[in-house]
Chain A
Amino acid sequence: MGLIDDAAFLLLSTVAILSGWRVFATDSMVRASFLLMMSFIAVGLIMLLLAAPYIGLATVFMMAVEMMVMALFMVMFMMNPAGLNPMMMVHQHQLAIGAGVFAFVGLTAAVLFTDLPDDRVDPGAPVVHDLGVELLGNSMLIFETAGVTLLATMVGAVVLSSRSGRFGAADEGSRPPGLEVGGEPAGRQPVQGGGGHHHHH
């Protein structure tokens, strides 16, 4: 059993890391979203191996929905969602690579030089049951706070993204960005007299 677990862990962690890397290397935005989802699914399955079935499956469940929405946003906001034109939309590339490598090396070193605890969870323990009791028992306040936070987030998200704001339409006087920083607005020009919305037919 230990060998199978090890092999599964090796496979899943390879998938998680490779697809996590490919997210930033593919041209297709939809593929990028679903590669990230793959990474999450692999991590969710690793959690199954780590004896946390509820958290693992909930991660898969949540991330499938989240990445679906992410993919739609990609298609909506990116000029080139299918990656038919190759593209490289990065800045401070060297710095970013350096920071990424530094974070990895630093964390790995910390992991390797720390005396890690070894108090394995009992495979037969009713972890899902325990989690439920904990969530609605001792930690109920924390759990409910998370719930209220999510509710507030939902309200905030709707307010932020809706068109009509407290002081009129949100896109009123909106001004498209220039092709270079501080340049003339590109694309459609702001309409005279304010109001980004044109006539509606």
Chain B
Amino acid sequence: MQAVAILSVLLLLLFGAWLAAILDRAGNALVAGDRVRTAAVRPLHDLAAHLSRQTTTTEAPDRLNWRLAPVAYLALAALGLSVVPLAPGVVAADFDAGIVLWGACEALTVVVVFLHGWSANSEFPLIGGYRYVAIGLPVMLISMFVLIAAALPAESLSVAAIVESQREIWNVVRQPIGLPLFLLLGLSLTLRGPFDYADSDDLIGGTRAEASGAQLAAWQFARLAMLASVSVMASAVFLGGYLGPVLPGALWLILKSGVVLAVLIAAGHLLARMPPSRMMTFIWTVLLPLSFLDLVLVGAELLIWG
């Protein structure tokens, strides 16, 4: 069963990244008022174009870390996804402390993105890396609070138990602040839209500005895979995961994750990005207190009705 789960995790990442690439392009075309002329093979064209170009280097980069960063990013996406039950009893890594493992992956993602920016030895990637640390760390704090809030009704840190605790009512109904805050984390983890402080256009691509060829392709793929991973996690923790009538559980999980993926991509295209200092103020004064409030409300709710 575990072998099936591990294989499914890898397939889910691959398929999710592909779907995300297609939706991303379609979303951009929709917003731009273009004809949506995306095709299922279009991500392959981009991949082939990247692979047909040289992977350049800079003067005296931290080469080991630079080349490893995309791989590590992808590995974190896979590791984070591995604690999510894909169907009743099918989970690649059945930890008692699954949520903590996910939290560790979030923290390490910040490290990996910083390293990707740092090791290129060039200023735009470096600024991108700095900025990402400044924004990424507080966003991660927020996500820990909402995840703990989601774990409270389950009385367990295991993701499987959290899914099971939603048999009667989904967490998104019970704790409505949690899901939007967690989706913000998703935007931040995947360097997307309003939380794209690492790879943004005002920094000429930020941490990936000096990356080219196969390395760039790997980095972009890792970002999309992480997007898939976050979507699945969000649907497991807040939308009841594999729970649902009639259809088999795995299908429900995929459907819900697809919806979350679409919402994340739409948010990335529709929302404007603030300058980082303004965003810092917003996070520390509005979003973080909101996540405290979420935790307090869930605690009160469990005390009264639980």
Distance in Å: Cβ of B121 to nearest Cβ of chain A: 7
Distance in Å: Cβ of A72 to nearest Cβ of chain B: 6
* A-chain residues with CB within 8 Å of residue B65 when the two chains form the complex: 31, 34
Look across to chain A and name the residue whose beta carbon is closest to the beta carbon of B109.
A64
A177 to B101, CA, bound (A): 45
Q: Is the CB of A57 within 8 A of B104?
A: yes
Q: Is the CB of B60 within 8 A of A53?
A: no
Q: Which of B9-17, B111-119, B199-207 contacts A (4 or more CB under 8 A)?
A: B111-119
A contact residues, range: 20 to 34
* Contact pick for A28, options B62, B96, B114, B156, CB 8 Å: B62
Distance in Å: Cβ of A77 to nearest Cβ of chain B: 15
Q: Is the CB of A61 within 8 A of B62?
A: no
* Contact pick for B97, options A31, A54, A84, CB 8 Å: A54
A144 to B115, CA, bound (A): 35
A166 to B148, CA, bound (A): 39
Q: Is the CB of A64 within 8 A of B97?
A: no
* Contact pick for B96, options A34, A37, A64, A128, CB 8 Å: A128
A12 in the interface (beta carbon within 8 A): no
Main secondary structure of the interface of B (DSSP, over half): helix
* B-chain residues with CB within 8 Å of residue A37 when the two chains form the complex: 111
Q: Is the CB of A68 within 8 A of B104?
A: no
* B-chain residues with CB within 8 Å of residue A31 when the two chains form the complex: 62, 65
**Which residues of chain A from 4 to 37 have a CB within 8 Å of any chain B CB?**
28, 30-31, 34, 37
A68 to B130, CA, bound (A): 10
A75 to B129, CA, bound (A): 12
Binary interface encoding of chain B residues 44-74 relative to chain A, with 1 for a CB under 8 A from any of its CBs, else 0: 0000000000000000101001000000000
A65 in the interface (beta carbon within 8 A): yes
A28 to B119, CA, bound (A): 11
Knowing A57-B101, A58-B100, the reply to whether A34 touches B95 (Cβ < 8 A) is: no
* B-chain residues with CB within 8 Å of residue A82 when the two chains form the complex: 60, 62, 121
A170 in the interface (beta carbon within 8 A): no
A194 in the interface (beta carbon within 8 A): no
A46 in the interface (beta carbon within 8 A): no
Q: Is the CB of B96 within 8 A of A84?
A: no
* B-chain residues with CB within 8 Å of residue A57 when the two chains form the complex: 95, 97, 100-101, 103-104
Q: Is the CB of A53 within 8 A of B95?
A: yes
Look across to chain A and name the residue whose beta carbon is closest to the beta carbon of B103.
A61
* A-chain residues with CB within 8 Å of residue B133 when the two chains form the complex: 68, 72
**16 other contacts beyond A60-B108, A65-B137, with CB at 8 A cut-off?**
A28-B62, A30-B119, A53-B100, A54-B97, A57-B100, A57-B104, A61-B100, A61-B107, A64-B108, A68-B133, A68-B137, A69-B137, A72-B130, A72-B133, A75-B118, A128-B157
> Could you list 29 examples of A-B contacts with CB < 8 Å?
A30-B62, A30-B119, A31-B62, A34-B115, A53-B95, A53-B96, A57-B95, A57-B100, A57-B101, A57-B104, A58-B100, A60-B104, A60-B108, A62-B107, A64-B110, A65-B137, A67-B111, A68-B107, A68-B111, A68-B114, A68-B133, A68-B137, A71-B114, A72-B130, A84-B60, A127-B96, A128-B97, A128-B157, A129-B96
